Structure 1
Amino acid sequence: MIQLENVSKEFKSKKGVIRAVSDVSLHVKKGEIHGVIGYSGAGKSTLIRCVNLLEAPTAGKVRLNDREFTELSKSELLEERKNIGMIFQGFNLLRTATVEENISIPLKLIGVEAAEIPKRVEKYLEIVGLTEKKNAYPAQLSGGQKQRVAIARALAQEPDVLLSDEATSALDPETTESILDLLLKINAEFGITILLITHEMHVIQKICDHVYVMDGGEIVEDGPVIDLFSKPQHKTTRSFLNTISQRKLSKEFVANLKKSGSVLRLTFRGEATGDPVLAAMAKEFDVKPNILTANIMELKNGVIGNLDVHIAGAKEEVGRSLAFLKSKGVVIEEWDDQYGKI
């Protein structure tokens, strides 16, 4: 559905050439929700604008529905963009137009028949739950309502692909939840493929099938969400996970506990999150586990459980107990200096 191959984007400035995106490749299959996460300046906004060629890539290929966008004429590109909806952090609503007009005007511009436009407005306002706000102006709406109008406007084009540029970053937590629930509903009911960018790990956790971690214009790690949440490899991924789970222990605290045993992070996936394996381990081996932190994260496609534990006991007995945990599918990471810096 969406394929980027070795895409790069450079900008020229007085100080020289700035490479905002560097050799990025990704593939979003039809009907899936993929997320790109990164800190400010990582290049993710530039990347998503390369998908519909609002920013023309300096190098690389962009394909949607097996059409090579970088080879299209201007008129062909405009036609293909009808199949791509986009929602923005700032809503981009016309202040002097009503909700109905904000949805209708783009439809007129892309050539939808006049008789069809009111039907689409009604249909998609109902989907986003704002039928009664049809005659309201943006100034009369809350932030969440404005974003729902923006989503209705994008859906009214009846696109195959929806691009989301930090759509929830300006919203409060409760409103963010409602918008994410709406995106999940849209994906499930209409099969629309969604590619979103965000700096909020909770957004990835809630709705994404696959995640790309971006840093310095590059994709530094990617994979199914459950894989990256259970065993992140890159320091940027670990840093993001700190924001939604209790992953950080101070170096001093860990060093003190290591004097009397091992300090470990245990990660449980799926059904293993409900198994009392730690209790079974303590019963079978001569070790004393002490839980330091614990949390369970519900993802779109699974559940991840994390335990930070201190295990006291003879070295050989601790080794046997860890082998037992591994046999139960538990991922084990040792808290060393590297983790202390997370």
Structure 2
Amino acid sequence: MISLQHVSKTFNVGKKTVEALKDVSLTVQKGEIVGVIGYSGAGKSTLIRCVNLLEKPTTGKVLINDVDITSLNKKELQKVRQKIGMIFQGYNLLKTATVYENITIPLKLEGVPKQDIKKRADKYLNIVGLSDKHHMYPNQLSGGQKQRVAIARALAHEPEILLSDEATSALDPNTTESILDLLLQVNKELGITIFLITHELDVIKRICDRVAVMQNGEIVEEGKVLDIFSNPKHLRTKQFVHGESGIKVPEHFAEELPKRGKIVTLTFIGDSSKDPFLAILAKEFDVLPSIIAGGIDQLKDQSVGKLLVHIDGETAEVNKSIQFLEEKNILVEEVNQ
């Protein structure tokens, strides 16, 4: 569906050349929800704008349905763009137009038959839950309602791909949750492929199938959300995952812990979190496990539990208990004290 192949993008800022993207390759399959996460300046916004050539790559190719759109002329590109919807953090609504007009005006400019325009506007306003807001203006709506209008406007073009550029970052947590539910509905019921960028790990966990982590214009780690979240490899990914989950040893607590034994992070995936493994450790081995911190995160299709545990005991017994946990498919990572 989407294939970015060795994409690089440079900008000239005064006398300096800024490399926003460096040899980025990424594929999004039809029907997937794929997210790119990174801190400000990582290159996320430039990357997503390359998908519909709002930013043309300096080098590399962008393929949509196996067609290299970087080689198309203006008319051909415009036709491809009609199948790519986009929603933004700032909504980009016409302030002097009603909700209905914000959806229908772009359709008129696109040349959609008049009889189809009303049908589409009514259909997609109903899907986003704003059927009763036809004649209201953007300044009469909440932030969440404005974003729903923006989503309806994008869907009214009946795209195959929906791009989301930090679409929830200006919204409160409850409104964000409702917008993410809407995007899941759009993906499932309409079969639209969604490619999004965000700096919010909760967005990735909540709706994405796969994730790519960006740093300094490069993708430093990529994979299924479950794999990345449960066992991050790159330092930047670990900063996102461990920083958001709050699984760390408080300084004052670490000072009070006995010096023998080990502090480990245990990651439980799915049903493995239901078994009383720590009780089994205390019974089967000469160790005393103590929970320091922990919690359960719900991903799109799976749950992941994380516990920070101090396993007190002699080194040989502690190592046996850790081996036992690993044999039960529990990920064990030793924490440096």
Output the TM-score relative to the length of structure 1.
Answer: 0.96
- Matched with 1:340 is none
Partner of 1:105: 105
Cα distance, 1:256 vs structure 2? 5.2
Deviation of residue 248 (structure 1)? 2.3
Partner residue, 1:142: 142
Query: Aligned partners of 1:192 and 1:57: how far apart in 2?
Result: 25
Distance in structure 1 (CA, Å) of the matches to 2:256 and 2:155 = 56
How far the C-alpha of 1:260 sits from its partner, in A, is 2.4
Aligned residues of 1:201 and 1:243 also touching (Cα < 8 A): no
Deviates more, 1:140-149 or 1:13-22: 13-22
Q: Answer whether contact 2:247 2:294 (CA < 8 A) is retained.
A: no
Between the aligned residues of both structures, percent identity stands at 60
The answer for the alignment partner of 1:57 in structure 2 is 57
Matching residue of 1:268: 268
Q: Deviations over 1:57-98 (max 9, x none)?
A: 001110111111111111100010000000000000000000
Aligned residue runs from structure 1 range 51-200, under 5 A: 51-200=51-200
- DSSP-derived class of the 1:36 partner: strand
CA distance in 1, matches of 2:318, 2:64: 53
Task: Tell me, yes or no, if the aligned pair for 1:36 and 1:214 is still in contact at 8 Å.
Answer: yes
Counterpart of 2:38 in structure 1 is: 38
- Number of equivalenced pairs: 337
Deviation at residue 335 of structure 1 after TM alignment? 0.5
CA contact (8 A) 1:35 1:208 kept: yes
Q: 2:135, 2:23 → 1: CA distance?
A: 46
1:313 is aligned to: 313
Paired with 1:71 and 1:255, the residues of 2 have a C-alpha distance of 61
Whether the 8 Å contact between 1:34 and 1:211 is mirrored in structure 2 is yes
Task: Tell me, yes or no, if the aligned pair for 1:254 and 1:263 is still in contact at 8 Å.
Answer: no
1:221-260 → structure 2 map (5 Å cutoff): 221-250=221-250, 253-254=253-254, 257=257, 259-260=259-260
Secondary structure at the counterpart of residue 289 of structure 1: strand
Where does residue 48 of structure 2 map in the other structure?
48
Q: How far apart, CA to CA, are the structure 1 residues paired with 2:74 and 2:269?
A: 48
1:240 is displaced (CA, Å) by 1.5
> Counterpart of 2:296 in 1: which secondary structure?
strand
Q: Shift of residue 255 of structure 1?
A: 6.0
Stretches of structure 1 lacking an aligned partner (at least 5 in a row): 338-342
**In 1, Cα distance between equivalents of 2:236 and 2:38:** 8
> Which amino acid in the other structure matches residue 317 of structure 1?
E
- Name which of structure 1's ranges 278-287 and 91-100 shifts more when overlaid on structure 2: 278-287
Q: Cα distance, 1:281 vs. partner? A: 1.5
SS in 1 for 2:245: coil
TM-score, normalization by structure 2: 0.98
1:150-204 Cα distance to aligned partner (Å, 9 max, x none): 0000000000000000000000000000000000000000110000000000000
Letter in 2 for 1:127: I
1:302 shift after superposition? 1.0
